Homo-oligomer: A and B are copies of this chain.
Amino acid sequence: MHTSSHAVARLLGDWSSGPGPAHRRLADLIRLLILDGRLPLATAMPGERDLAAVLGISRTTVSTAYATLRDQGYLSARDRARSRTRVPHRQPEAAVDDRDLIDFSHAAPPAPGEALHRAYTSALNQLPRHLPRHGYSPTGLAELRAAIATRYAERGLETTPDQILVTNGAQHAIGLIARTLLRPRDRVVVDHPSYPHALRVFRAAGCRVVPVAVNEDGWDLEILSATMRGAALAYLMPDFHNPTGLCLSEKDRLSLRPQCPIVVDETMAELALDVAPPTPLAAYHSNVITIGSMAKTFWGGLRVGWIRTTPDLVQRLHQARADVDLGTPVVEQLACAELLGGIREILPTRLAGLRRSRAVLLNLVAEHLPDWTVGESHGGLTVWTRFPDPISSALAAVAPQFGVRLAAGPRFGIGGAFERFVRLPYSLDAEAMKTGITGIADAVAAVRSGRRADTPPAALA
């Protein structure tokens, strides 16, 4: 794949201000685009002369930035062909595992340690009855499919176990649906902003991704319906939307007119903080495929999700799955069935904790980032914040110097949108959020004034 200078310029957005020399800012931003997946790996970058002309800067600036990225392992060594994007073999792991940065880039709930321990202990007690069998369960263990079906019924949606396909998390579910139902050049309607990993899947499938705005007023049902016409699929998160935390009202659920099959990602659906738990959209409309996950309700280290649909589509997905993997681990499934069975005991404490954390975060933002506006949210794990200047990518690029990892707003959008937004999770403890928000405030000041961090934080020294 090649990318043009104009495409890179669009992705860079307004990068003219910020700390340090231009070549360093350019390198920082291109690195971020690569790590975010907005510049896919193995993309041939534009030539130096051409990019310089489009950006209106000197060729030396581009050439120095490229040289830095080559040194750091983000561009392939120059040969006859154009430099291609790559990642150095240590960086992404450090990016994921680095415990020294406050991680505001993930929205990951605190793990319910005791409940997890009880669930796995119970799973181990049940294990012997599964040992005589081969252990492959590509549609899912009966115990877990039944527990998931029961939970849907509790939430107001009658469900039979043969409507459930157990997956290795929600992302795996999205991937299987794309494999089974989408073809290159299909139109896929998405919320905008939306979940970055879902956008990746649809782009990787060669689909045309058509965004429909979700703004402070929520969803515009008329535009949504009109856009769905002729689309192959819509991918929506009406239940505590990621990143905004908005929830589609009961009235709007009823009014929505699906014009194509809708995939509803309910990953956040159990985390109702301010409104009554929503009834699943599939209870209002047929032609809805629902995705669920353990990762946000319980813990990201549980890699179990599911798809709820017709028994026929469950079987088609199951057949397609054999090209991807052969099933979900048995013990993991048993533990998740236990956790779902006990969700009514676990949830109230967790929701109360999240409400407290959110209040802490909102206070910190009001105190340290007074010109940031926090969007209304109804639940989930994140708020969507807005600031006056389009500095989101620049901010994410420098944030690690200030001890924080941030996901830039444009990760959640298409074509470089959301440079005035950042998603902030309130799933960290109060101390970490305080350190993180003051770090962000320093980073904002640095971006606005063109400074770099005065002294590297201790963690990076």
Q: Within 8 Å CB of A327, what residues of B?
A: 169, 303
Question: Across the two chains, which residue of chain B brings its CB closest to A293?
Answer: B326
Q: Which of B90, B142, B300, B323 contacts A136 (CB 8 A)?
A: B300
- Contact string, A130-164, partner B, CB cutoff 8 A, digits 1/0? 11111111110010000000000000000000100
Q: Within 8 Å CB of A329, what residues of B?
A: 301-304, 329, 332
Question: Across the two chains, which residue of chain B brings its CB closest to A328?
Answer: B303
Q: Evaluate contact between B325 and A171: CB separation under 8 angstroms.
A: yes
Q: Which of B97, B106, B121, B169 contacts A325 (CB 8 A)?
A: B169
Q: Evaluate contact between A89 and B332: CB separation under 8 angstroms.
A: no
Is A60 interfacial (CB 8 A cutoff)? no
Q: Within 8 Å CB of A325, what residues of B?
A: 168-169, 171-172, 175, 303, 325
Is A387 interfacial (CB 8 A cutoff)? no
Q: Which of A106, A137, A162, A331 has the most CB of B within 10 A?
A: A331
User: In the complex, what distance in Å separates the CA atom of A86 from the CA atom of B175?
Assistant: 21
- Contact string, A314-330, partner B, CB cutoff 8 A, digits 1/0? 11101110111111111
- Contact string, A158-195, partner B, CB cutoff 8 A, digits 1/0? 00001000001101100100000000000000000000
Q: Which of A110-118, A239-247, A415-423 is found at the contact surface with chain B?
A: A110-118
Is A87 interfacial (CB 8 A cutoff)? yes
Q: Within 8 Å CB of A15, what residues of B?
A: none
Q: Evaluate contact between B330 and A96: CB separation under 8 angstroms.
A: no
Is A360 interfacial (CB 8 A cutoff)? no
Q: Evaluate contact between B111 and A116: CB separation under 8 angstroms.
A: no
Q: Evaluate contact between A316 and B41: CB separation under 8 angstroms.
A: yes
Given A134-B103, A175-B325, A326-B197, check contact A37 B319 (CB 8 Å): yes
Q: With both chains docked as a complex, state the minimum distance between the C-beta of A172 and any C-beta of chain B, in angstroms.
A: 4
- Contact string, A87-101, partner B, CB cutoff 8 A, digits 1/0? 111111100110100
**Oligomeric state, in number of copies?**
2
Is A201 interfacial (CB 8 A cutoff)? yes
Is A299 interfacial (CB 8 A cutoff)? yes
Q: Evaluate contact between A303 and B324: CB separation under 8 angstroms.
A: no
Q: Which of B97, B135, B137, B175 contacts A302 (CB 8 A)?
A: B135
Q: Evaluate contact between B96 and A315: CB separation under 8 angstroms.
A: no
Q: Evaluate contact between A314 and B89: CB separation under 8 angstroms.
A: yes
Is A127 interfacial (CB 8 A cutoff)? yes
Q: With both chains docked as a complex, state the minimum distance between the C-beta of A65 and any C-beta of chain B, in angstroms.
A: 21
The A293-318 residues at the B interface (CB cut-off 8 A) are 295, 299-304, 310-312, 314-316, 318
User: In the complex, what distance in Å separates the CA atom of A136 from the CA atom of B172?
Assistant: 13
Question: Across the two chains, which residue of chain B brings its CB closest to A330?
Answer: B301
Is A200 interfacial (CB 8 A cutoff)? yes
Q: Evaluate contact between B168 and A322: CB separation under 8 angstroms.
A: no
Is A108 interfacial (CB 8 A cutoff)? yes
Q: Evaluate contact between B130 and A301: CB separation under 8 angstroms.
A: yes
Question: Across the two chains, which residue of chain B brings its CB closest to A334?
Answer: B301
Q: Evaluate contact between A127 and B116: CB separation under 8 angstroms.
A: yes
Q: Within 8 Å CB of A330, what residues of B?
A: 301-302
Q: Evaluate contact between A113 and B131: CB separation under 8 angstroms.
A: yes
Is A372 interfacial (CB 8 A cutoff)? no
Q: Evaluate contact between A169 and B326: CB separation under 8 angstroms.
A: yes
User: In the complex, what distance in Å separates the CA atom of A116 from the CA atom of B128?
Assistant: 10
Q: Which of B87, B302, B328 contacts A315 (CB 8 A)?
A: B87
User: In the complex, what distance in Å separates the CA atom of A108 from the CA atom of B136?
Assistant: 9
Q: Which of B37, B311, B322 contacts A200 (CB 8 A)?
A: B322
Show 18 residue pairs from A and B whose CB-CB distance is below 8 angstroms, ordered by the A residue.
Answer: A87-B315, A87-B316, A93-B162, A97-B142, A106-B136, A116-B131, A117-B124, A120-B120, A120-B124, A131-B299, A168-B325, A169-B326, A171-B324, A201-B323, A303-B328, A303-B329, A325-B325, A332-B332
Instruction: Give 19 A-B pairs besides A135-B300, A169-B326, A331-B335 with Cβ atoms closer than 8 angstroms.
Output: A89-B312, A93-B139, A93-B162, A96-B136, A103-B134, A106-B134, A110-B131, A111-B135, A117-B127, A131-B299, A134-B300, A134-B301, A168-B168, A168-B325, A171-B326, A172-B326, A200-B323, A324-B324, A331-B332
